[in-house]
Amino acid sequence: MNMSLDRFITKEPEQKRKPEPMEPKPKPPEQPKVIIEKETEENEEPLEEEEVEIEGFEEPEEALLEETVFEAETPENTGPCFLLSVSYSGKKSCALVKLYDPEKGKIYFWYDNTGHKPYLLTDMPLQEVMKNPSVLKNPGFDPAHCQVVRKTDLLLDTEVELTKVTAKDPLSIGGRGKGLRDILPQTWESRIRYHDCYIYDRELYPGYLYRIRNGTLERVEYKIPDGEIEAFKKIFPPEDEVFKEALDRWLPLFSCPAPNYRRVAIDIEVSTPQLDRIPDAKAAEYPVISAAIVSSDGVKRVLLLRREEISLGEKPSELSDVELIFYEDEKKLIEDIFKVLSSYPIVLTFNGDNFDLRYLWHRALKLGFRKDQIPITLGREVALLSVGIHIDLYKLLHNKAIQVYAFGNKYREVTLDAVASALLGIKKVPLEKLVTELSYMDLAAYCFRDAELTYSLSSFNNDMVMNLITLLMRISRLSMEDVTRQGVSNWIKNLLYFEHRKRGYLIPRQEDILRIKGETFTRAVIKGKKYLGAIVIEPRPGVYFNVVVLDFASLYPSIIKQWNISYETVRCPHSECRSNVLPNTPHWVCKKRKGLMSLITGLLRDIRVYWFKPKSKDKSLPEGLRRWYDIVQHALKVILNASYGVFGAEVFPLYCPPAAESTTAIGRYVITNTISKAKEEGVDVIYGDTDSVFLHNPSQEQINRLLNWVEEQFSIDLEVDKVYSYVTFSKRKKNYLGV
């Protein structure tokens, strides 16, 4: 199965895709145009909160994102491309969209030409804003685009009129120092980073298909075969308009295959005086002595710096098809690394944010490069590329949700060695001495292995990681850079913000939610926790034969869907909803409005459970397609598993304790009632935990009656999860053995 694009577009004659790796002498990759202009001093990443001023003569890197002059082509027309990122171009004062052309394997730039401006919302009337002296004094204030906007305030369920206050640049909304958000007494949506704001307002889906036509950015609709749409409709009888609309919008996002990204992995070695010391990237005191490059188009190369008293060493067999290039001059070596960095659409590193790219940036400056000659942009804790996208696999693999749900907790420690041996079965080259003391060949072998492992992490299991990233971009609506660096709560936040904007809902402030909804009512069993969680049934010790385990298929997402749980619907403002009390809680839930989280969680849950999960196991489908569906259902699982938890997390901007505790309260209600019913039916219940019940030797009829009863009673799915020949229980909970 190929993940080619031939399913959706009829235009351009299909070109044969680039050959895969292992070409002995690959053609050097086509390079985007590199234009050298004079230095600019523009800022990016302006909406960072609470920047700390660091004194010192050197401008701290935390403060600024320097813009370099490396650029990609900006064509007026393109074929279908994948949207990889949106950022803000300080130089052009507008949004910059990076598109990936899967045919040519390169990046195009598209600069916003719609006149979109950074803005915030305030309840100060427009006329007052226009004559407010502090506002007028702000040089970034842009009176020309200010206007009155109408929004739905979900917390009060009212329509509100607000003033949209626009600025000439994102920094003027609220960077360091006094932005408009600090001047105005009350603001909303003023802490959203500009590039996210742009994605919401243009309803862009990163990771999905776009093209440039006559200079305009357009979405390309991925065509789903008619047969599949019909099959889908059979499984999802259209419930209501909202649901159907969302279905039309979501299904193509999940069905459109990800491209086979042209990409390069890179790793550098720096001469170190001590073995146990990682060189300080900021000081960049020591020379870069080697760099290894492994790419999807077959480049395998190690750049080596010639130094005194280093022997050549014996060429190991693993370097037999690796090109070795020696440099007399470190500056030239780094220049060549920069050429690679600026000529690939995607660059992979392991810890490049904090080390490799950061070191190169500082080292280059030290060696006399001008800032605009460095194709890297440093942020406080990221290192981005001027042309392409930098993915730091260390950051991605550090993500707990990815660790647990995508890789099944296979690696414990997030080091290249641990991750690679767990996922790939290959280890780093063991080091017996300082890299500085290695012969050229040994150094090359060591460095090359690291780059090779880094590349392999992106390619193993048929590019599983790249496919997963692409899907998570589409779900979260985050750029490739952001989705690989942020945690699951940020993915969900961004998805919900997007959906608010799309529907004209005001994005609420956390303190307003907390003030109106209040804290929790229940108390946790465990000290230090905020509210009561799930129930674990005391196991009856012993050995049991023929044990059937019933399991609620994603219980919490189902509850969120079925009981209409969302921050705006739990304890809604309507007096007529107050009687609609949620079981085991003093909270009521809205009868008039479908909760946004309830809608989205329910939708994603249903799509996963009824469509992608069964398809991922359908042996009648081609293997490649099945694999794709499996990644889709995994990506959905990652999001769904966090959808309840975020409501109970203070870091989540839509934090809503009553919504979180209602979800677990309903969970307890559901499992308790299910167990009672089972006992009523004469079934022996020997154990249960959160969403599972263990039945001892039940008859098929008893099982069926129970499943049907649950379906009727709660409209959620109880399934037979496992059948054990025998299970042994000790008297301890969460500790059993089933065969």
Partner DNA sequence: CACTGTGGCCGTGGCC
Partner DNA sequence: GGCCACGGCCAC
Should residue 380 be labelled a site residue for DNA when binding is judged by CB under 7 A? no
The piece of 228-236, 370-378, 398-406, 677-685 that touches DNA (CB under 7 A) is: 398-406
| Residue in the structure block whose two tokens are 């880094």 | 454
The piece of 127-135, 609-617, 640-648, 711-719 that touches DNA (CB under 7 A) is: 640-648
Beta strand 106-111 with 119-122 is: unpaired
Nearest distance from C-beta of residue 649 to DNA, angstroms: 3
Exactly one of 524, 553, 621, 720 binds DNA (CB under 7 A); which one? 524
Task: For residue 572, count other CB atoms closer than 10 A to its CB.
Answer: 27
Should residue 651 be labelled a site residue for DNA when binding is judged by CB under 7 A? yes
What's the distance, Cα to Cα, between the start and end of the chain in Å? 36
Exactly one of 488, 604, 656, 678 binds DNA (CB under 7 A); which one? 488
| Residue in the structure block whose two tokens are 């996963």 | 608
Should residue 534 be labelled a site residue for DNA when binding is judged by CB under 7 A? yes
Give the 3-state DSSP-derived string for 320-369, with helices as H, strands as E and coil as C: CCCEEEEECCHHHHHHHHHHHHHHCCEEEECCHHHHHHHHHHHHHHHCCC
Should residue 645 be labelled a site residue for DNA when binding is judged by CB under 7 A? yes
Distance between CA atoms of residues 590 and 439, nearest Å: 71
Task: Determine the size of the site formed for DNA (CB under 7 A).
Answer: 42
C-beta pairs of 225-233 under 8 Å, 24+ apart in sequence: 225/7, 228/255, 232/611
Closest CA to 535 of 311, 691, 647: 691
Considering the complex, state which of residue 53 and residue 241 has its C-beta at the smaller distance from DNA.
53
Exactly one of 1, 404, 434, 737 binds DNA (CB under 7 A); which one? 404
Considering the complex, state which of residue 676 and residue 735 has its C-beta at the smaller distance from DNA.
735
Should residue 642 be labelled a site residue for DNA when binding is judged by CB under 7 A? yes
Looking at residue 537, its amino acid is I
Looking at residue 532, its amino acid is L
Nearest distance from C-beta of residue 155 to DNA, angstroms: 22
> Which residues face 357 on adjacent strands?
none
Exactly one of 213, 400, 502, 679 binds DNA (CB under 7 A); which one? 400
* For helices 596-606 and 488-503, angle between their N-to-C axes, nearest 10 degrees: 120
Considering the complex, state which of residue 134 and residue 730 has its C-beta at the smaller distance from DNA.
730
The piece of 181-189, 194-202, 644-652, 710-718 that touches DNA (CB under 7 A) is: 644-652
Should residue 649 be labelled a site residue for DNA when binding is judged by CB under 7 A? yes
732 contacts 720 by C-beta, under 8 angstroms? no
Closest CA to 570 of 518, 646, 611: 518
Exactly one of 252, 533, 557, 658 binds DNA (CB under 7 A); which one? 533
CA atoms within 13 A of residue 434's CA, in its CB half-sphere:
14
350 φψ region: left (φ > 0), alpha (ψ -120 to 50), beta (else): beta
Distance between CA atoms of residues 591 and 614, nearest Å: 33
Nearest distance from C-beta of residue 72 to DNA, angstroms: 30
Nearest distance from C-beta of residue 548 to DNA, angstroms: 14
Should residue 526 be labelled a site residue for DNA when binding is judged by CB under 7 A? yes
3-state secondary structure at position 736: strand
Exactly one of 92, 502, 529, 592 binds DNA (CB under 7 A); which one? 529
The piece of 51-59, 125-133, 199-207, 519-527 that touches DNA (CB under 7 A) is: 519-527
| Two structure tokens written together for 83 | 């949207």
208 contacts 253 by C-beta, under 8 angstroms? yes
> Whats the size of the chain, residue-wise?
739
Nearest distance from C-beta of residue 666 to DNA, angstroms: 14
Should residue 487 be labelled a site residue for DNA when binding is judged by CB under 7 A? yes
Exactly one of 531, 563, 628, 729 binds DNA (CB under 7 A); which one? 531
Exactly one of 78, 459, 467, 489 binds DNA (CB under 7 A); which one? 489
Strands (E), 448-552: 536-537, 542-552
Query: What phi and psi, each to the nearest 5 degrees, are found at residue 301?
Result: -145, 145
The piece of 107-115, 150-158, 446-454, 687-695 that touches DNA (CB under 7 A) is: 687-695
Exactly one of 374, 646, 693, 706 binds DNA (CB under 7 A); which one? 646
Exactly one of 222, 644, 714, 729 binds DNA (CB under 7 A); which one? 644
| Residue in the structure block whose two tokens are 């790419």 | 295
To the nearest 10°, report the CA torsion of 613, 615, 616, 619.
140
Should residue 379 be labelled a site residue for DNA when binding is judged by CB under 7 A? no
CA angle 652, 658, 664 (to 5 degrees): 95
Exactly one of 190, 255, 399, 436 binds DNA (CB under 7 A); which one? 399
Nearest distance from C-beta of residue 688 to DNA, angstroms: 9
40 contacts 91 by C-beta, under 8 angstroms? yes
Nearest distance from C-beta of residue 209 to DNA, angstroms: 29
Closest CA to 377 of 358, 396, 349: 358
549 contacts 693 by C-beta, under 8 angstroms? yes
Binding mask 689-728 for DNA (x = CB under 7 A): xxxx------------------------------------
| Two structure tokens written together for 418 | 């641990």
Nearest distance from C-beta of residue 528 to DNA, angstroms: 7
Closest CA to 451 of 372, 350, 357: 350
Nearest distance from C-beta of residue 608 to DNA, angstroms: 16
Should residue 663 be labelled a site residue for DNA when binding is judged by CB under 7 A? no
Nearest distance from C-beta of residue 126 to DNA, angstroms: 35
Nearest distance from C-beta of residue 281 to DNA, angstroms: 12
> Which residues face 588 on adjacent strands?
581
The piece of 78-86, 486-494, 564-572, 578-586 that touches DNA (CB under 7 A) is: 486-494
Exactly one of 37, 239, 733, 737 binds DNA (CB under 7 A); which one? 733
Exactly one of 398, 574, 594, 626 binds DNA (CB under 7 A); which one? 398
Considering the complex, state which of residue 299 and residue 548 has its C-beta at the smaller distance from DNA.
548
The piece of 57-65, 79-87, 397-405, 695-703 that touches DNA (CB under 7 A) is: 397-405
Exactly one of 159, 381, 519, 618 binds DNA (CB under 7 A); which one? 381
Nearest distance from C-beta of residue 533 to DNA, angstroms: 2
Should residue 653 be labelled a site residue for DNA when binding is judged by CB under 7 A? no
110 contacts 99 by C-beta, under 8 angstroms? yes
Should residue 212 be labelled a site residue for DNA when binding is judged by CB under 7 A? no
Should residue 277 be labelled a site residue for DNA when binding is judged by CB under 7 A? no
Should residue 557 be labelled a site residue for DNA when binding is judged by CB under 7 A? no
Considering the complex, state which of residue 498 and residue 655 has its C-beta at the smaller distance from DNA.
655
| Two structure tokens written together for 518 | 């209040």
Nearest distance from C-beta of residue 543 to DNA, angstroms: 18
Should residue 401 be labelled a site residue for DNA when binding is judged by CB under 7 A? yes
Give the 3-state DSSP-derived string for 604-669, with helices as H, strands as E and coil as C: HHHHHHHHHHHHHCCCCCCHHHHHHHHHHHHHHHHHHHHHCHHHHCCCCCCCCHHHHHHHHHHHHH
Looking at residue 443, its amino acid is L
3-state secondary structure at position 527: coil
3-state secondary structure at position 675: helix
Nearest distance from C-beta of residue 323 to DNA, angstroms: 34
Nearest distance from C-beta of residue 736 to DNA, angstroms: 8
Considering the complex, state which of residue 315 and residue 398 has its C-beta at the smaller distance from DNA.
398
Exactly one of 156, 435, 514, 536 binds DNA (CB under 7 A); which one? 536
Nearest distance from C-beta of residue 316 to DNA, angstroms: 34
| Residue in the structure block whose two tokens are 């969209």 | 97
Which chain residues interact with DNA by CB under 7 A?
381, 398-401, 404, 409, 487-490, 524-527, 529-534, 536, 641-642, 644-646, 648-652, 660, 664, 689-692, 732-735
